[in-house]
């Protein structure tokens, strides 16, 4: 069993402090997090909301957000707007990523969201997405390792970041480079179907991912740093959190157990084999997977296999955090700076 990552201290919350909000609208999920400042520039969560909306369903084939997907998403955003209003939020940032970046009718969708909910969505670049993921995950990085390969397997894209990690825990990681690969669990599931993946199809996904990953390797020479023992790997995505929950044999998904956990590559391979062997109905019935992710997780495992096979770090830190936490840390930091 891989040793756990260092536990994070949780400073006391300032009950009189302002509340801040962060919303991340991805290709698959709509997620809201609200928090109040807590000592040393951190925060404590006061409310969270997450709903799978599959905004990018069918986008790869049509280039447009479907009416059904937009309606599902706007309904979830109405809930978010109500919760933000109920907390009297002092400041917030509400961002959308790959599905909106790619959709021909994105401007129409953004206007419909504003009219229906009052939320003004910000479509962020892949570079800004990578920066926010690294900011949000920074507390989980091992400051003894000078380099980090951070990735996020999303619904419509896979983000990879190559970053330098200062030894000072108060210093922010420095991003040397990033890449956004326009393939994620929803795009592959739309193309191949995700309920059952034949071995040949699974291997095809792995192979398709290897070309852009290899280009990233050639650009930065990550392999030589791995051979020197100077690299850590951190994953922020539903794929890695599901694998961690299954590895830990949790009776249900427990974020506190998963976030900050670690998986060695042998365990990743073993749990992946278990998932591939499960029927769709078995995956859907599993309390740590569920019906909404049962047809996506195998594509995620194939993407992860491509990453691990190219960069044999041997151990993966698991983050159930990312863009929203990065936004909140920025908002809290800006408020503290005056």
- Selection from 279, 325, 281, 1 nearest residue 138 by Cα: 325
Q: Tell me the C-alpha distance between 298 and 275, whole Å.
A: 7
For the chain, give every domain's residue range: 20-124, 140-319
Task: Tell me yes or no: is domain 140-319 CATH 3.30.420.150.
Answer: yes
157 exposure class (CB count in 10 Å sphere: 0-12, 13-18, 19+): buried
Name the pLDDT band for 16 (thresholds 50, 70, 90). low
pTM: 0.90
Mean pLDDT of 38-67: 92
Report pLDDT digits (tens) over 60-92.
899 999 999 999 999 999 999 999 999 989 999
Question: Which residues sit opposite 158 in a β-bridge?
Answer: 153, 181
Whether the per-residue pLDDT at 94 is higher than 70: the answer is yes
Whether the per-residue pLDDT at 13 is higher than 50: the answer is no
Report pLDDT digits (tens) over 189-244.
989 988 888 899 999 999 999 999 999 999 999 999 999 999 999 999 889 999 99
**How far from 329 is each of 70, 85, 98, 321, CA to CA, in Å?**
29, 21, 22, 12
Task: Tell me yes or no: is domain 20-124 CATH 3.30.420.40.
Answer: yes
Q: Tell me the C-alpha distance between 210 and 326, whole Å.
A: 28
**How far from 105 is each of 111, 120, 229, CA to CA, in Å?**
10, 16, 46
């Amino acid at each position: 069993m891989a040793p756990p990552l260092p536990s994070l201290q949780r400073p006391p919350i300032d009950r009189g402090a302002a509340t801040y909000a962060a919303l991340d609208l991805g290709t698959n999920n709509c997620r809201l997090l609200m928090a109040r400042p807590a000592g040393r520039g951190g925060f404590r969560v006061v409310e969270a909301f997450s709903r799978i909306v599959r905004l990018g369903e069918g986008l790869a084939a049509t280039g447009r957000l479907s009416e059904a997907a937009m309606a599902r998403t706007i309904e979830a955003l109405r809930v978010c707007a109500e919760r933000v209003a109920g907390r009297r939020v002092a400041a917030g940032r509400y961002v959308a990523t790959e599905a909106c970046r790619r959709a021909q009718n994105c401007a129409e969708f953004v206007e419909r969201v504003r009219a229906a909910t009052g939320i003004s969505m910000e479509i962020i670049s892949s570079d800004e997405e990578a920066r926010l993921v690294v900011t949000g995950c920074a507390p989980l990085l091992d400051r003894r390792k000078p380099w980090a390969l951070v990735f996020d397997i999303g619904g419509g894209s896979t983000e990879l970041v190559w970053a330098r990690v200062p030894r000072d825990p108060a210093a922010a990681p420095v991003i040397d480079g990033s890449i956004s690969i326009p393939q994620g669990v929803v795009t592959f599931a739309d193309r191949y179907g995700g309920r059952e993946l034949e071995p040949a199809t699974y291997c095809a996904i792995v192979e398709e991912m290897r070309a852009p990953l290899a280009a990233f390797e050639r650009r930065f020479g990550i392999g030589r740093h791995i051979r020197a023992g100077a690299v850590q790997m951190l994953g922020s995505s539903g794929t890695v959190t599901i694998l961690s929950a299954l590895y830990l044999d949790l009776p249900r998904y427990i974020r506190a157990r998963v976030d900050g956990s670690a998986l060695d590559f042998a365990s990743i391979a073993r749990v992946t084999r278990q998932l591939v062997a499960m029927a769709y109905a078995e995956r859907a019935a599993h309390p740590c997977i569920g019906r909404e992710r049962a047809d996506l997780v195998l594509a995620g495992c194939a993407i992860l296999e491509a990453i691990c096979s190219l960069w044999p770090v041997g151990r993966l830190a698991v983050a159930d955090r990312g863009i929203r936490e990065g936004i909140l840390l920025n908002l809290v930091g800006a408020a503290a700076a005056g």
